[in-house]
Structure 1
Amino acid sequence: MSNNNTGNTQNAKRKPVVLMPMGAQERKGHDYQVMTKKYMSPLVEISGCVPLLAPTCFGTEDLEQYLSMVDGVYLTGAGSNIDPALYGQENLTPDKSQDRDRDLFDLPLIRAALDMGLPLFGICRGMQELNVALGGDMHQKLYQTPGLNDHREDTTTPVAEQYADIHPVRLVPNTWLAELMQQDEIPVNSLHGQGIKTLGKGLQALAHAEDGLVEAVHLPELPQFTLGVQWHPEWLAAQNPHSVRLFQAFGEACRNRAEQRSR
C-alpha cells in the first residue's frame, strides 16, 4: 500500500518536460553545445516545467524519441542566423555566424512537434525557425530594407541597456494574445537584425512593430498552444508582467498536455 501511495504522490508532483534544442559554440578550439541560463530560468521558475536539453549536432535519428519524452517544445534565440539556403535565398550576411546543425535539427523537429499536438513556444531565432519550417522566408537585413527600422541592439552599451524596452508592439485586436496581455500595445526589447518577410503556411500575425514588422505569430488552425515572438521575454522575465503571462500560459499548455498523456 505504501509503495502505491508513493507512486501516486510522484505522479501528482510530476512537472511537464519541455524539449530545448541547444546550439553550437566554439571555445578555445573546442566545440560546445550550449544553452543560456536566461532562457531556462523562466521555464523552470514561471512555467513550472523541467527542461530537457537536446544536442543538435548528431542529426535527427533520435528526434522521435526526444519528442516521445516531452510535453512541449521551447525554441530559444541564439547568436546565429538560419542558413538562407533553407528559404531559397543567397546569404547576404556572410560575416554573421550560422548553426546549420541546429537548422537541420529544429526545422523537422518543429514539423513533427506540431503534428503530434505538442505546445510550442519560439523566441527570436525560434520564431524565425517556425516561420522557415512552414515555408516562410526572411528579411536578412532589416536595417537596409526600405520602410523598416533598425531593430538591432547597441552592442557598445551594457547588457541591461541592450535588453531594455525600446519600442512598442501593437497586438492584433480580438486575439488570445491581446486578451492575455490585457492591453492593445506592450513595450518590448529589440535585439535582431533579421525578421519575417513572408509568413509560413498557416501562420498568422499576432503583433506588429511600429514599422509593420511581424513581432508575434501563431497557428490558429491548430488546437495546441503555438506562439513565436521576435522580442526576448525571457530577459528578467519575473520582473515583467507581460513575460510572466506568456510563460505561465506556455506552462499551463504543457501541463494540460502532460495530463492528457497520463490518462
Structure 2
Amino acid sequence: MGSSSKKPLVGVISDVKVISPHPFHIAGDKYLRALVEAADVVPIMIPALNDIMDITHWTEHLDGVFLTGAYSMVNPSLYGESKIDADFDYDDQRDNLSRALIQNMLKEDKPLFAVCRGLQDINVALGGSLHQSLHEVEGMNDHREDKNAPLAEQYADTHSVTLNEDGIMRKITGRNDILVNSLH
C-alpha cells in the first residue's frame, strides 16, 4: 500500500442474484481479492444494467475486464439450443452484459480475462456453442464442485496444463506448464 504509481482499473462483471425479495448485483469475494492481491489492480464492479446504461461509458475508462465464474449458466438460446434442465440457474442480465463487454473490449483492443463461466461467455459471444451437461459427455471430466469438501480441498491444484509457447501466460510465469484447478 502507499504506492504512488497508478494501478490499472479492471472492470468485474456482476451477476444478478435475488436475495429475497430483492435483486443484487454481485461478484465473488475470491475474484475481487485475487485481482487486488495477485494482480495488483483496482477492481471495479460493473452492474448488469446495460439495458439502461451505455456500456462504452464503462469500457472507455477501464484498462481491462475480468469475466468471473458464476453459478448461472449461459442461456442456451444464445447458441441456438433449448434448455435441457429447467433447474439450472440462468442470468439473462449477465448474459447481456457479458456480450456487450466482450464486444466493446475487443473493439477497443483492451485486455479481457475470463475464468469458468467467463470463458463460456466469450465462447458464445464469438459464435461458439456449449455442452449444457459436460459431465455427461463421454470422455469428459466432471469438474463440478463438491460443496461438502473444504474450500482448500476444492481449490487445490489438480492437473497440469501446458502454456502456449508464444502466449502471455508463459511470458508472465516463465514456465512451460503450470498446475491448475478446473473446478466448476
In structure 2, C-alpha distance between the alignment counterparts of 1:15 and 1:175, rounded to whole Å: 23
Question: Quick one: structure 1 residues 79 and 31, their matched pair in 2 at CA, closer, same or farther if it must change by over 3 Å?
Answer: same
Identify the residue that residue 70 of structure 2 maps to in structure 1.
78
* Structure 1 residue aligned with 2:37: 45
| Higher deviation after alignment, 153-162 or 64-73 | 153-162
Question: Are the structure 2 counterparts of residues 177 and 15 from structure 1 closer, same or farther at C-alpha, using a change threshold of 3 Å?
Answer: closer
Match of 1:136 in 2: 128
**2:102 maps to amino acid:** I
Give 1 or 2: higher helix fraction: 1
The answer on whether the counterparts of 2:50 and 2:96 sit within 8 Å (CA) in structure 1 is: no
Judge which range, 42-51 or 14-23, deviates more: 42-51
- Structure 1 residues 92 and 167 mapped into 2: Cα distance closer, same or farther (>3 Å)? farther
Q: More displaced, 132-141 or 39-48?
A: 39-48
Say whether residues 1:18 and 2:5 are aligned partners: no
CA contact 1:74–1:120 (8 Å) conserved in 2: yes
Aligned residue pairs, count? 181
Structure 1 CA distance, aligned partners of 2:175 and 2:44? 33
Rg larger in 1 or in 2? 1
- Alpha-carbon distance in structure 1 between the residues aligned to 2:137 and 2:75: 19
Task: Give the match for residue 204 of structure 1.
Answer: none
For residues 163 and 43 of structure 2, the distance between their equivalents in structure 1, rounded to whole angstroms, comes to 29
**8 Å CA contact retained: 1:153, 1:190:** no
CA distance in 1, matches of 2:54, 2:167: 36
Question: How many angstroms apart in 1 are the aligned matches of 2:111 and 2:50?
Answer: 24
Q: What is the CA distance between 1:167 and its match in structure 2?
A: 2.3
| 2:118 aligned to which of 126, 145, 149 | 126
Alpha-carbon distance between aligned partners in 2 of 1:133 and 1:46, rounded to the nearest angstrom: 28
- SS across alignment from 1:24: strand
Q: What is residue 92 of structure 2 aligned with on the other side? A: 100
Aligned-residue CA RMSD (Å): 1.9
Structure 1 counterpart SS, 2:100: helix
Counterpart CA distance in 1 for 2:134 and 2:49 is 29
The one-letter code matched in structure 1 to 2:179 is P
Aligned-pair distance for 1:61?
3.1
| Aligned twin of 2:19 | 27
When normalised by structure 1's length, the TM-score is: 0.63
Which sections of structure 1, spanning at least 5 residues, go unmatched? Answer: 1-11, 193-263
Distance 2:173 2:63 in 1: 24
With the length of structure 2 as denominator, give the TM-score of the two structures: 0.88
* TM-fit CA distance, 1:60: 5.9
Residue number in structure 2 paired with 1:115: 107
- Taking only the aligned residue pairs, the percentage that are identical comes to 39
On the 8 A contact 1:60/1:105 being kept in 2, the answer is no
Q: What residue number does 2:156 align with?
A: 164
Letter in 1 for 2:6: R
